[in-house]
Each structure stands twice: as structure tokens, then as C-alpha cells.
Structure 1
Amino acid sequence: MSVKPEAASALFAGPFALATLSAPDGPAFPALVTADSRVLDLQVAFGDARLTTRRLLEDWDSAVPRLTALAAGAGREGRPLSDFRVHAPVAPRQVFQSGANYRQHVIDLHVAHRAPGDDRPEEERRAEAADIMDRRAAEDLPYVFIGLPSAITGPYDDVVLPAWAEKPDWELELAAVIGRPAHRVSVEDAHQYIAGYTIANDLTDRATVFRRDMPQIGTDWLRSKNAPGFTPLGPWIVPAESIADTGDLRLTLRLNGETMQDESTKDMIFSVARMVSYASQSARLLPGDVVLTGSPAGNGMHWGRLLRDGDVMEGEVTGLGVQRTRCVAETAS
């Protein structure tokens, strides 16, 4: 789907953001985008034809002053953003996904995924889910698992719904982008390893979340979350310094113009810093990696309305812009 980025209500917070763009029929390149929709090709500005957004993030501390200076002069030199196609802003080596991190969302899913034979009233099951959330918060145990980089697509690209996906659902999320190698970092220090933030829509086929052949195995995130294009990412990486408080950002997802998700990150059980710190206790996070931080209430399972061919999703996060993707049913081969 071809969408002009300037159709969004606002591009992003702060003076500049990072993007990966391409001219029509041209190769992709890392770009600095200003708040007034001007673009600088960073391969040209840095004098490095092999530069990518990820390589820029690998030397983020020294890159920031140069980017700030470039942004100040971009109005004189930059080209209009409307001249370019917008891709996913970075190609991460690792994707860390998060589940069950918004209190109301988890309660809603707990009620929607009624176990066979569970005939208790909804109020009782909601109370049970609330108790579970309180216990998780007290025990300080986030839920993080691995996604595939091959599932990432651009913020304005069509999303192909696989023929086997019976219940494809949306999950708008705030994503942190890593700017320094991070291993076993504390919650207090975690923010030092975050270069910036972007938007992710972590699509999930609800019908394949749990294994049917052997329920004891549990969840099947490979099958349910990692189809090609199931993680629209972007449009921008907004530097962390431009986002005042990740604990109070609004996430809004509209389906065909109707608001389905509209929640603050205040409803998170675990903060962004806690999620990054937790992931780093087991894995070594690398520059350019993305850490998804969970999705708020208002998914399709809650509304009883899953994604269909032709649906258009608009995902917006305060200060990070808007992504807009259209769902397309997989054609028979």
C-alpha cells in the first residue's frame, strides 16, 4: 500500500528521527528526517556508502551530536519526505517480544480464552486474572520471548494474512531500539542502552497460539506470530531524548477508522526499562535490536472481530508518529 507519511497528524516528537527510505526504484538508505518533513541521506552526509541504520546505532553515542547538527541545517539541504518510500527503520538481528504486560489486556484475554468446562461467571474469572497480575508484579517476572526479524515489514506495507491463519489479530506496541550492547544491565541503567523508540504491530494468529496436538507443550509463538510481514515496524526511530516519559504514552489503533485500542503505557505491569533489563539477564542485546513491550487492551479477541482482507490498521503512539497498513488475504498458489 502506498501511503504518504505526511498524512499523519504529526510526524514525531523532537527535532529529528531516523528512518530507512528509498527513492522510486532506488536502493534503501539510512536517513535523517526532520519534524518539518525534510530528508538527509546519511550515506552522503557521513561519507559512507555502506552505512545502514543499524551500523549507525552501533556507534550511537558519537552519532547523536552529528545528527543533531545535521538536523539544524536540514531545512536548507533536505529533500521532501514525500519523494521517498518509507521502510522499516532498522533491520534488527534480534527481536524480543513481550506478552501479558498490560493489566487490562491480560484480564480481557483471560476471560476470552475460557478453558473448556469453565462455566464460572465472568466477574469471577476477571477477579482471578487480576489476582494473577498482582502476583506477577509482586514476583517481578516479565514475560519475554523471541521473534523473527523476517516477520518485520514496513510501516505502510500491505500485511499478507496467511491462508492458514484463522484468527489474525492486531497488537499495537511501543518498541525500544537498542543502541549499545547490553548484557545483565540493571533496571536503573537500562535507559542508557536505549537509542530510541518506534512503533510495532505484533500481529498474532489467536487460533495457533496454543498447540492443539499436545496442549502440555503450551504456546507456539513461531506459528502464531512470525509469518512474513506479521510485525509492521516504524515509521521512525525517535531518539530517546525526545520522549519525556515512556510511562505515559498513548497507544491508539484504529481499524478502518474505528478506534479499537486506546490506552496509556501507565497500564503496563513492567516498565520499558524493566523489560530491557529482564531480557538482558539471559541474552546479549545488540545495537539495532528491538524490544517490544506488550500490547494494551482492545485486541480483536476482545471485540469479537478479527482481521480480514481489506482491513486498514492505523497505529499511533504519542511522539512516534503513525503507521498505516492494509490487510491482504493470501492468494492461492
Structure 2
Amino acid sequence: MTSSSAGLTAPYALVRFRTGDGAEARLGLVAGDRVREIGPDELGAADLNAFLAEAPASWGRLTAVAEQTDAAWHPLADVTLSAPVTPRQVLQTGANYRTHVIDLVAAGRAKNDPRPIEELREWAADMMDRRAREGIPYFFIGLPAAVVGDDVDLVLPSYSDQHDWELELAIVIGREAFRVDREHAMEHVAGYTIVNDVTTRDLVFREDMKEIGTDWYRGKNAPGFLPTGPFLVPSPFVANPGDLHLQLTLNGDTMQDATTSDLLFDIPALIAGASQNMPLLPGDLLLTGSPAGNGIVHGRMLRDGDVMVGAIEGLGAQTVRAVAEERR
């Protein structure tokens, strides 16, 4: 596939890119409609995660590289972009958009629930408002092996037909964060990227062990279930991550359309909360949750041949094609 920087407003961003079929992805710097390979000399560090460990201060090293006009540049349209990060840990945030949770409660209404749908939505709204005032973020763990670029087709496992999309703003951790407070949390943000946190809905809750609750391993961690990127945008170029527009379209139809201002727990609260029991490492992904408009609410799950375009203001867009796995 070819790549475009449409929607990317930063002066530069990091990517991983390939120039030919089968070639290994290389770390690159995107500036406008061109990309060039960068290595330890330009980074001033051994690798990407070591560079990010010094972010946001380290971003200034790339300013002069982005302004160069030598022959090292490739047209961005001629390369294939992959996932821009190699996280050691992936943390996901559940139930963190107010409207999203209200919609899920209404969609999951029990058949024997006598309450009118509006009453149920009001109950869910009160619950979310109380949680925002008194609660703490809800985290679970994803597998880094599920992180891929949008150059990889999303294979829909044959064991279910309930695969759903979840467009999310993802924080890329910079300096290691361990038991930080809200006031200092943003000092540990290297940048931001786009993630589609794909979910198999009918596997989230265990029917055979209802007392246990959610099964996020089976519900989320199939191969390729975390399409990421294509750009890692430096944090200094994202002025207000708490008010970014997100939109996901399915075959051209808008499914998710929201802003990060609907987050229950904002980015400082998420970083502070997630760092309390385990250090967040340079290059790790911290997903902030998905807004309203998932397939379970639309009554439409992913099918063979579907094309999703997920865009976040200032961060560009990713295009993911779904293909059905052959039934075994």
C-alpha cells in the first residue's frame, strides 16, 4: 500500500517504513510528504526506546534532520508504513468515555429488565458521573505481540463473528514513570499515536465462570488486534491532547465521532494511575479508551472485506482492511 501524511499537522513525526516487498522495516523521520531513514547518529541514542527515554527533550535533535534537503529522502507515497513503536508493555483503559459506557449499558440491557431504555441510560449516566468524581481508572494488559501496522490485514478469527472496532488515542511513554502524581505525569509523555483496539465481544465475559468477570486475554489479544500508527507524533506538537477529534469510518460510513474531552479520566490521571504498581517504560503504549460508536451499538460487527479508517486530529489516519480467517 502507499502512505500519505494527510491529517498529520506536526512539523515531523517518527515512523517505521519499508521501501520494497519483504524488506525489513526501518525507523524513519517524516516531514511533510517525504521520509528518510534515521539511526543512532541522528537519534543520539542506541535505538528508539532509548531515544524516547529522554523525551520530550530529545525531540529537538531531529529538528535539523527534518530541515535537510539531501538525497536521503523518499517520497512518502512510495513507501509502506508499519507500526511506529515497539512497546515492551501495552496497558489498556476500560470504560473511560462517558457516552460510550452509557451506550454499552443500553445495548446490553437484559431481556427481563423492566426499566425503560431512557431510565437505564440515566442510571448509567449517574454511575459514570459518580465514578468520575470518586473512582479510579480501570486498566488491563494487552500483548505487545498484537501490535502491528495498518500494512497488515486484520484477520478475523473464525471462532467468532463478533469482532468489533475501538478507535483510541494512545500515549507513548517517554521517561520511565513509576508512582508519579498527576502534576508530573505529562513529563513522562513522549508522544501520541493511533490504535484500533479490536475486541471479540462474545469472549469478553466468561459464560462458564461468570464469577470471574472479564476475560481480556481471549477478548482482545488475537494476532494483529492492535493496529497502531502509522505516525508517532512528538508530544510538543500536540497542544491539547484532552480535546482531540476522533473519527472512525467503516466502508465510508461514520461509526465513531467524538473528542477526547469526553474522557472520564484525563491523561494525567491515567498515567498517574497506571504507574502506581508497575513502572511504565520508554516506548510503552497506554491506551486511553474508546468513544461511543462501536459495532455492538450499531448492531454491525466486522466482516470480510470491511475497510476501517481511523483518524485522530493532528495524528494522521490509519486504514485497516478486515479479512475472514478460513474456518478450520
Confirm or deny a common fold (TM above 0.5): yes
Q: For 1:281, which of 276, 283, 287 is the aligned residue?
A: 276
Contact 2:147 2:228 in 1 (8 A): yes
- CA offsets, 1:127-162, max 9 Å, x none? 110111011111131111111111111023210000
What's the CA shift for 1:45?
A: 4.9
Cα distance in structure 2, aligned partners of 1:26 and 1:329: 26
Give the unaligned 5+ runs of structure 1.
Answer: none
What's the CA shift for 1:198?
A: 0.3
Cα distance in structure 1, aligned partners of 2:230 and 2:69: 19
Partner of 1:192: 187
Partner of 2:3: 5
**1:205 equivalent in alignment to 2:203:** no
What's the CA shift for 1:165?
A: 2.3
Cα distance in structure 1, aligned partners of 2:258 and 2:82: 26
Q: For 1:131, which of 126, 131, 136 is the aligned residue?
A: 126
Cα distance in structure 1, aligned partners of 2:188 and 2:71: 32
Q: For 1:15, which of 8, 11, 36 is the aligned residue?
A: 11
Cα distance in structure 1, aligned partners of 2:216 and 2:16: 28
Question: 1:104 is paired with a residue of what secondary structure?
Answer: helix
Cα distance in structure 1, aligned partners of 2:225 and 2:218: 11
Cα distance in structure 1, aligned partners of 2:57 and 2:237: 17
Contact 2:256 2:291 in 1 (8 A): yes
Question: 1:73 is paired with a residue of what secondary structure?
Answer: coil
Contact 1:13 1:243 in 2 (8 A): no
Q: For 1:42, which of 26, 32, 38 is the aligned residue?
A: 38
Cα distance in structure 1, aligned partners of 2:55 and 2:235: 12
Partner of 1:305: 300
Q: Which moved more, 1:164-173 or 1:58-67?
A: 58-67
What's the CA shift for 1:108?
A: 0.2
Distance 1:160 1:74, change over 3 A: farther
Contact 2:55 2:189 in 1 (8 A): no
Distance 1:74 1:272, change over 3 A: farther
Distance 1:161 1:74, change over 3 A: farther
What's the CA shift for 1:116?
A: 5.1
Cα distance in structure 1, aligned partners of 2:106 and 2:43: 55
Cα distance in structure 1, aligned partners of 2:296 and 2:144: 25
**1:153 equivalent in alignment to 2:148:** yes
Q: Which moved more, 1:133-142 or 1:177-186?
A: 133-142
Question: 1:60 is paired with a residue of what secondary structure?
Answer: coil
- CA offsets, 1:163-221, max 9 Å, x none? 11231100000000001100011111111100000000001111111001011110000
Question: 2:247 is paired with a residue of what secondary structure?
Answer: strand
RMSD of aligned C-alpha atoms? Answer: 1.8
2:14 is matched by which residue type in structure 1? Answer: L
Contact 1:21 1:29 in 2 (8 A): yes
Give the unaligned 5+ runs of structure 2.
Answer: none
Contact 1:156 1:323 in 2 (8 A): no
**1:84 equivalent in alignment to 2:84:** no
Partner of 2:26: 29
Residue-pair matches, total: 327
Aligned-pair identity (%): 50
Contact 1:19 1:53 in 2 (8 A): no
Q: Which runs of 4+ in 1 moved over 4 A?
A: 74-77
Cα distance in structure 1, aligned partners of 2:102 and 2:218: 24
What's the CA shift for 1:84?
A: 1.9
Contact 2:196 2:227 in 1 (8 A): yes
Structure having the higher helix fraction is 1
After superposition, where does 1:99-178 map in structure 2 within 5 Å? Answer: 99-115=94-110, 117-178=112-173
Cα distance in structure 1, aligned partners of 2:213 and 2:58: 43
1:30 is matched by which residue type in structure 2? Answer: L
Partner of 2:262: 267
Cα distance in structure 1, aligned partners of 2:114 and 2:223: 38
What's the CA shift for 1:73?
A: 1.6
Cα distance in structure 2, aligned partners of 1:80 and 1:51: 26
Distance 1:147 1:280, change over 3 A: same
